[in-house]
């Protein structure tokens, strides 16, 4: 198209060719003078059309020609209002994900994902102030409250801080605060002083004496907040030590993370480093890297320990500059998966990383613009139709729970939605 425009322009603008054509036509047949003028007019219209088409085709997606963050949150809130009547209240069917055939995967509050759907509702209410969303958030959150006494899991932060913690900071309801404090009391019972960490899982006890997973960094935020809420430093101290232990033992020289570190409860030393959801023990499971990025960004915000800031910065560089990171910044489920590019993506990893970057950028001014550019690229990509879920109440498609299992592969998953909406709310607060 560009070549055609250039060739036409050269022919009709060259004095010699135009003059020759004009003289030739007008000398022999005067009526061709009018025809020549018409051709010239058509040519100029064609050039204008071509240039406009080229401009449209080369335009890059930027914030200037996409929906604003507020518009996205408004549309998500409206979408959720439409969704809510299609998801009946049921304490045994808290939304989690979808089967490959499109049927709902849901469960009781005991599942580790039970706090994400109510937490997403609270985030949408915090933005929209829509009374229907608030009522639904209150009702779904109530189903999870009994988990504040469950001492068989490290996931109390996911279950109760994403739901009750988010609710408290939006509504200032003291009951929600009390639930967060009780959940924190329960969680610290899993702390082992010799290891210096909170135990993650109780299963596989015949193989794993004291397993700690990188995901556990996400549950520390509730403990840091519990010290603010109560004035009792025990929660802060345990969270701080767990983060230091994870920093010491969970990372490879390239700043990628192991999924599971197994400790000896007698010596406190490391017995093994393995994976449970990644491709291999030596691979970089993408959501694990995102947990680390978010977790150490948050840990630095809470403690101001410079080692945590440096760790978060290096994890971010590993994650976003990895040679197997796709151009749209939505990673494959594992950076070392064997069949890239024919591997499932993990939208949830992208959403977690984006939300983590929005914390990290507050403390790393040197790289703030780069972090914000990565965030905006992710948020732009996730707003595109191909990443939108079509089954209520889910927002995003193409998350991956685990491939080796396999379970929840390339489907909507509630924690992808939660961290996406959290990232949008955090992005809304950024002044440029």
Which of 14, 43, 58 represents a domain boundary (last residue)?
A: 58
155 carries an active-site annotation: yes
Which of 21, 36, 58 represents a domain boundary (last residue)?
A: 58
Which of 16, 150, 178, 215 is flagged as catalytic?
A: 215
User: Tell me, what's the pLDDT at 416?
Assistant: 98
Q: What are phi and psi of 108, to 5 degrees?
A: -85, 175
Verify that 45 and 134 share a domain, yes or no.
Answer: no
pLDDT band at 6 (very low <50, low <70, confident <90, very high): very low
394 close to 408: Cβ distance less than 8 angstroms: no
| DSSP structure class, residue 157 | I
Verify that 9 and 151 share a domain, yes or no.
Answer: no
Verify that 138 and 278 share a domain, yes or no.
Answer: yes
Verify that 335 and 368 share a domain, yes or no.
Answer: yes
Which of 15, 36, 58 represents a domain boundary (last residue)?
A: 58
Average pLDDT over residues 210-232: 98
Verify that 86 and 72 share a domain, yes or no.
Answer: yes
User: Tell me, what's the pLDDT at 432?
Assistant: 61
Verify that 232 and 307 share a domain, yes or no.
Answer: yes
Residue 143 pLDDT greater than 80, yes or no? yes
Q: Which CATH number do you get for residue 337?
A: 1.50.10.10
Verify that 50 and 178 share a domain, yes or no.
Answer: no
Q: 């949008």: which residue's tokens?
A: 424
As a whole number of angstroms, the distance between CA 261 and CA 197 comes to 11
Verify that 208 and 274 share a domain, yes or no.
Answer: yes
Q: 């879920």: which residue's tokens?
A: 389
263 close to 216: Cβ distance less than 8 angstroms: no
pLDDT band at 218 (very low <50, low <70, confident <90, very high): very high
pLDDT (tens digit per residue) in 369-413? 999 999 999 999 999 999 999 999 999 999 999 999 899 999 999
Verify that 42 and 153 share a domain, yes or no.
Answer: no
| DSSP structure class, residue 395 | -
Verify that 164 and 308 share a domain, yes or no.
Answer: yes
Verify that 300 and 195 share a domain, yes or no.
Answer: yes
Nearest to 379 by CA among 333, 335, 318, 426: 426
Verify that 6 and 131 share a domain, yes or no.
Answer: no
pLDDT (tens digit per residue) in 184-206? 999 999 999 999 999 999 999 99
Residue 55 pLDDT greater than 60, yes or no? no
Range of the domain at 23: 2-58
**What is the maximal distance between C-alpha atoms in the chain?**
107
pLDDT (tens digit per residue) in 80-134? 999 999 999 999 999 999 998 899 999 999 999 999 999 999 999 999 999 999 9
Number of domains in the chain: 2
Which of 155, 334, 410, 417 is flagged as catalytic?
A: 155
């Amino acid at each position: 198209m560009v070549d055609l425009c250039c060739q036409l322009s050269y022919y009709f603008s060259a004095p010699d060719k135009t003059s020759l054509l004009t003289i030739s036509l007008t000398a022999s047949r005067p009526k061709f003078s009018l025809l020549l003028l018409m051709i010239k007019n058509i040519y100029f219209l064609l050039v204008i059309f071509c240039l406009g088409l080229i401009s449209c085709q080369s335009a890059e997606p930027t914030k200037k020609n996409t929906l604003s963050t507020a518009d996205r949150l408004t549309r998500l809130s409206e979408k959720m209002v439409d969704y809510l009547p299609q998801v009946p209240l049921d304490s045994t069917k808290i939304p989690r994900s979808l089967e490959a055939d499109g049927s709902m995967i849901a469960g009781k509050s005991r599942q580790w994902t039970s706090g994400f759907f109510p937490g997403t509702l609270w985030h949408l209410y915090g933005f929209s102030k829509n009374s229907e969303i608030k009522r639904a958030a209150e009702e779904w959150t109530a189903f999870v409250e009994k988990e504040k006494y469950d001492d068989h899991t490290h996931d109390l932060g996911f279950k109760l801080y994403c739901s009750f913690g988010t609710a408290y900071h939006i509504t200032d309801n003291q009951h929600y605060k009390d639930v967060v404090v009780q959940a924190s009391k329960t969680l610290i019972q899993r702390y082992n002083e010799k290891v210096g960490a909170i135990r993650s899982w109780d299963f596989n006890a015949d193989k794993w004496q004291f397993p700690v997973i990188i995901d556990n960094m996400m549950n520390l935020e509730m403990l840091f907040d519990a010290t603010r809420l109560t004035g009792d430093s025990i929660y802060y101290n345990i969270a701080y030590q767990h983060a230091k232990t994870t920093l010491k033992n969970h990372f490879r020289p390239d700043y990628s993370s192991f999924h599971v570190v197994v400790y000896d409860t007698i010596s406190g030393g490391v017995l093994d480093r393995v994976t449970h959801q990644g491709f291999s023990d030596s691979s970089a499971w993408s959501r694990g890297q995102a947990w680390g990025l978010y977790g150490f960004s948050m840990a630095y915000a809470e403690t101001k320990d410079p080692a945590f800031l440096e760790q978060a910065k290096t994890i971010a560089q590993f994650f976003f500059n990895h040679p197997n990171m796709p151009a749209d910044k939505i990673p494959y489920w594992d950076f070392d998966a064997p069949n890239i590019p024919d591997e499932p993506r993990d939208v949830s990893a992208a959403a977690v990383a984006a939300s983590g970057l929005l914390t990290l950028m507050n403390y790393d001014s040197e790289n703030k613009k780069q972090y914000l550019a990565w965030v905006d690229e992710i948020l732009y990509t996730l707003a595109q139709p191909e990443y939108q879920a079509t089954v209520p109440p889910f927002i995003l498609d193409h998350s991956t729970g685990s491939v080796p299992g396999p379970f929840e592969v390339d489907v909507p998953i509630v924690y992808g939605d939660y961290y996406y909406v959290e990232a949008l709310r955090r992005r809304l607060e950024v002044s440029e």
